[in-house]
Amino acid sequence: LNGERVLGIDTIGMAIITLLTDFGLKDSYVGVMKGVIASINEEAKVIDISHQVEPQNILEAAFLLRSAYRYFPKGTVHLVVVDPGVGSERSAIIVDQGDRIFVAPDNGVVSWSLRKSCGYNIYGIENPSFFLAEVSSTFHGRDIFAPVAAYLSKGMHPSNFGKKRDRLKTLEFPPVSVKEGSVTGEVVYIDRFGNLVTNIEQGMVSSGALSIRVKGVEIPGLSSFYAEKTEGELVAIIGSLGFLEVSVNLGSAKEVLQTKVGDKVEVILG
Amino acid sequence: LNGERVLGIDTIGMAIITLLTDFGLKDSYVGVMKGVIASINEEAKVIDISHQVEPQNILEAAFLLRSAYRYFPKGTVHLVVVDPGVGSERSAIIVDQGDRIFVAPDNGVVSWSLRKSCGYNIYGIENPSFFLAEVSSTFHGRDIFAPVAAYLSKGMHPSNFGKKRDRLKTLEFPPVSVKEGSVTGEVVYIDRFGNLVTNIEQGMVSSGALSIRVKGVEIPGLSSFYAEKTEGELVAIIGSLGFLEVSVNLGSAKEVLQTKVGDKVEVILG
Amino acid sequence: LNGERVLGIDTIGMAIITLLTDFGLKDSYVGVMKGVIASINEEAKVIDISHQVEPQNILEAAFLLRSAYRYFPKGTVHLVVVDPGVGSERSAIIVDQGDRIFVAPDNGVVSWSLRKSCGYNIYGIENPSFFLAEVSSTFHGRDIFAPVAAYLSKGMHPSNFGKKRDRLKTLEFPPVSVKEGSVTGEVVYIDRFGNLVTNIEQGMVSSGALSIRVKGVEIPGLSSFYAEKTEGELVAIIGSLGFLEVSVNLGSAKEVLQTKVGDKVEVILG
């Protein structure tokens, strides 16, 4: 989780745009954005990260982006449209990190995915000559963000779209409390399988005996894989994002423990 | 909403096929159609408009197509498979508008997307030499429509697939009643956010003071964006399709007003 | 249903990878796999078969793969990740059938899609030099399967990934009981429309008068298409997979008959 891209392979021929929205898949909003992108850059390859973000849940989108961005090739443009402030005076920004570019409303949704060690440049999205001719007040994904991402994917420099800025809105990643003998964090995401992803990093729980407490239940020790436990049993494991996760083998920890995002998870060390 | 493509950019190199069905995303139906398309035209880029149309709801599909088609490049083939009459004597058609081609069962699903001012040519889909070798009676999306769309995307002329026709089945777009001092329309679509899209066009409500009545509730005036109102408050707004919409800021008008498609919406002018 | 590809067209220029998982579409898992694939083979075209397999339901995934694989071009790599044993000692395999390649955990999920008449070669997936640098214990779709499928789609021979094997795990396709005067099978899949797909093949019910019994209800005769019956009426039909299906015209047989996978279906002949 050091922020570097995971793959040692650089592909630069293909222009990739990822999409992350709360638009769902029933309405035509996502298809329309892809139509706009194809109209501007027919070579762009669009990859969906998710369109099932809970409506207007910026924190959920921020988490999903953080879980995904490292796995895309150099040069990928990551477009996020979770935008409760659409049409208001809220800003829209481009964040250029060299290896990758983020495009989003300036509401903090990209802030957990920025690699501070390498620096980045922030630009406003202000130049209407790159927008659709008519800009609605409710669907900037179509009228502003899709065209800007498409032009960026063609190699256009971010400075064409607006002025350089000093700062962007950031969200605080929920902090972990570390005491002698215990680490207390919380559930930050729950996936389709009912796995409870916490904010407790692998390094905080890697040594010695420990047990995990969540919703009054105690789970002894870390497992190496789900099937170490019998069907229906709780299991604590380091998940694929490098965080402590609580799961049920062949079942749903969310259902078994009746958990929700924000619930406390405590690790008792030693 | 004048029917012209919104973008001033013509891309003709890439063959795009859009898909709009009621097949959902769990079954393999959509993937299979894409496999058939790739087998015939490996260069085709397939873009999903929606597969979550309510089963057999032709009106919903007609609305989604109308909301989307303008945003795709010149030459796009729009394939719609919402087809309760599959296997019966119902016809299948190609409608060629020069800039774009529609392929669908002849049940009216494309009729709200035709640009009457520029004319179009209608062809039957009758020539089995372009179908899969075995045609089932329940899945023409795979056996007939996907191959025909794929050949069209390669530039094959629509006349290869069947005879030219004079007419196609049309659906009536719900009419708006305009009286002195009021305009009465209805909810024609409800999106994921619970926004109520009406059939009342921007031009009908653009001047002067007004208020909107729906389900016994009165909303004073049009807003310019959702966040003009406080969280949970009703807001009337011109939506991204150019129609009056009723929404709740950071909430769902569908839930707050317990509305469904077909419910009356009245605009009191002046 | 003889196992041959249905299309007489061979396209070999394009590398296609199909994805079939139980990851759903809300989490970023599927998008991340596509990012890994694009990082390794930017030319690969990824087509989703389904990501809505019920969590850990290997039989459902096996059925969906069987329903789909024939409709993809020669050379397609079919990747299936439904993997309750992830991280344990369960094997991962490549099955090479010349025309197509399957990649999956060795849990039987590909066994209904193998064309026995033509033979196939099985290889283990063992060589970590093709995996991501860090392999998690919970997401081999990202760390192992996606990279292997991507390298295969570039034309790399399966023997690069591991040793040839003699056998793979197989699942039994539910057998049909054929007696004089009757055939008894079961519901093996239920689709979005509530159509009940059985394991009774077309050839078993193709001649003479017959009636179908399911959940105590008797349906007289086979229909040629849904709309032969009136709205809401039960209809027995040979479905698009070549199996007997029980449907309701413009409705859901699943709801009308309160059926589930495994329920018995009896055909009375003559």
Are C97 and C43 spatial neighbours (Cβ–Cβ below 8 Å)? Answer: no
Check residue C207 and give its pLDDT.
Answer: 67
Written as tens digits, the pLDDT of chain B (270 aa) is 233 444 444 444 569 999 999 999 999 999 999 999 999 999 999 999 999 999 999 999 999 999 999 999 999 999 999 999 888 888 999 999 999 999 999 999 999 999 888 789 999 999 999 999 999 999 999 999 999 999 999 999 999 999 999 999 999 999 999 998 999 999 999 999 999 999 999 999 876 789 999 999 999 999 988 988 999 999 999 999 999 999 999 999 999 999 999 999 999 997
Residue B129 has φ and ψ, to the nearest 5°, of: -70, -15
Residue B248 has φ and ψ, to the nearest 5°, of: -125, 125
Residue found under tokens 């009703």: B234
ipTM confidence: 0.94
Check residue A13 and give its pLDDT.
Answer: 54
Are A96 and A159 spatial neighbours (Cβ–Cβ below 8 Å)? Answer: no
Q: Does the distance separating the beta carbons of B143 and C71 come in below 8 Å?
A: no
B106: tokens are 């002849």
Check residue B89 and give its pLDDT.
Answer: 83
Interface probe, candidates C12, C80, C191, C192, chain B, greatest B C-beta count within 10 A: C192
| Contacting residues of C for A46, CB less than 8 Å apart | none
Q: Is C11 on the interface with A (CB under 8 A)?
A: no
Are C200 and C243 spatial neighbours (Cβ–Cβ below 8 Å)? Answer: yes
Helices C58-68 and B29-40 cross at an angle (nearest 10°) of 30
Helices B58-68 and A29-40 cross at an angle (nearest 10°) of 30
Written as tens digits, the pLDDT of chain A (270 aa) is 233 444 444 444 569 999 999 999 999 999 999 999 999 999 999 999 999 999 999 999 999 999 999 999 999 999 999 999 888 888 999 999 999 999 999 999 999 999 888 789 999 999 999 999 999 999 999 999 999 999 999 999 999 999 999 999 999 999 999 998 999 999 999 999 999 999 999 999 876 789 999 999 999 999 989 988 999 999 999 999 999 999 999 999 999 999 999 999 999 997
Q: Does the distance separating the beta carbons of C40 and A9 come in below 8 Å?
A: yes
Q: Is B262 on the interface with C (CB under 8 A)?
A: no
Are C262 and C207 spatial neighbours (Cβ–Cβ below 8 Å)? Answer: no
Q: Is C71 on the interface with B (CB under 8 A)?
A: yes
- Please give the residue of chain B at the shortest CA–CA distance from A131: B7
| Contacting residues of A for B47, CB less than 8 Å apart | 31, 34-35, 38
Task: Name the maximum alpha-carbon separation found in chain A.
Answer: 63
Interface probe, candidates A192, A196, A249, chain C, greatest C C-beta count within 10 A: A192
Check residue B120 and give its pLDDT.
Answer: 95
Q: Quick check: C3 pLDDT over 80? A: no
Closest CA to A194 of A229, A230, A226: A226
Check residue A120 and give its pLDDT.
Answer: 95
Q: Does the distance separating the beta carbons of A71 and C36 come in below 8 Å?
A: yes
Q: Is A21 on the interface with C (CB under 8 A)?
A: no
Are B73 and B9 spatial neighbours (Cβ–Cβ below 8 Å)? Answer: yes
Q: Where are the beta strands (DSSP E) in B22-144?
A: 45-50, 76-81, 92-96, 100-105, 121-124
CA distances from C47 to B45, C51, C111 (A): 11, 11, 21
Distance CA A32, CA A49 (A): 17
| Contacting residues of B for C67, CB less than 8 Å apart | 27-28, 32
Check residue B8 and give its pLDDT.
Answer: 40
Residue A108's SS3 state is coil
**C206-215 confidence digits (pLDDT tens):** 767 899 999 9
Check residue A7 and give its pLDDT.
Answer: 43
Q: Is A52 on the interface with C (CB under 8 A)?
A: yes
Residues 6+ apart with CB under 8 A from C253: C194, C195, C196, C234, C246, C247, C259
Are A220 and A267 spatial neighbours (Cβ–Cβ below 8 Å)? Answer: no
The string of DSSP letters for C86-152 reads TTSS--EEEEE-SSEEEEEESSSTTGGG--GGG--EEEE---GGGS-SS--SS-HIIIIIHHHHHHH
Q: Does the distance separating the beta carbons of A71 and C142 come in below 8 Å?
A: yes
Residue found under tokens 């707050």: B256
Q: Name the B residues in 106-165 with CB < 8 Å from any C CB.
A: 132-134, 136-139, 142-143
Q: Does the distance separating the beta carbons of C138 and A227 come in below 8 Å?
A: no
- Please give the residue of chain B at the shortest CA–CA distance from A140: B240
Residue found under tokens 């040069």: A75
Q: Does the distance separating the beta carbons of C8 and B28 come in below 8 Å?
A: no
| Contacting residues of A for B228, CB less than 8 Å apart | 88
Q: Is B270 on the interface with C (CB under 8 A)?
A: no
Quick one: how many helices (H) and strands (E) in chain A?
Answer: 5, 16
Task: Tell me the nearest-neighbour CA distance from C25 into chain A, angstroms.
Answer: 6
Q: Assign 3-state DSSP to chain B and report helix, strand, coil percentages, each to 5.
A: 25, 30, 45
Q: Does the distance separating the beta carbons of C51 and B31 come in below 8 Å?
A: no
- DSSP assignment, residue B224? S
Check residue B14 and give its pLDDT.
Answer: 66
| Contacting residues of B for A137, CB less than 8 Å apart | 224-225, 237-238
Check residue B212 and give its pLDDT.
Answer: 96
| Contacting residues of A for B73, CB less than 8 Å apart | 35, 38-39, 42
Q: Is A229 on the interface with C (CB under 8 A)?
A: no
Check residue A87 and give its pLDDT.
Answer: 82
List residues bridging with B164 in a β-sheet: B123
A149: tokens are 């991402």
Closest CA to B112 of B80, B86, B88, B83: B80
Distance in angstroms between the alpha carbons of the first and the last residue of chain B: 25
Q: Is C38 on the interface with A (CB under 8 A)?
A: yes
Check residue C89 and give its pLDDT.
Answer: 83
**C147-171 confidence digits (pLDDT tens):** 999 999 999 999 999 999 999 999 9
Check residue C4 and give its pLDDT.
Answer: 42
CA distances from C7 to C62, C72, C201, C242 (A): 22, 8, 21, 16
Are A61 and A53 spatial neighbours (Cβ–Cβ below 8 Å)? Answer: yes
Q: What is the mean pLDDT of residues C168-176?
A: 96
List residues bridging with B16 in a β-sheet: B45
Instruction: Tell me what the pLDDT averaged over chain C comes to.
Output: 92
Are A195 and A246 spatial neighbours (Cβ–Cβ below 8 Å)? Answer: yes
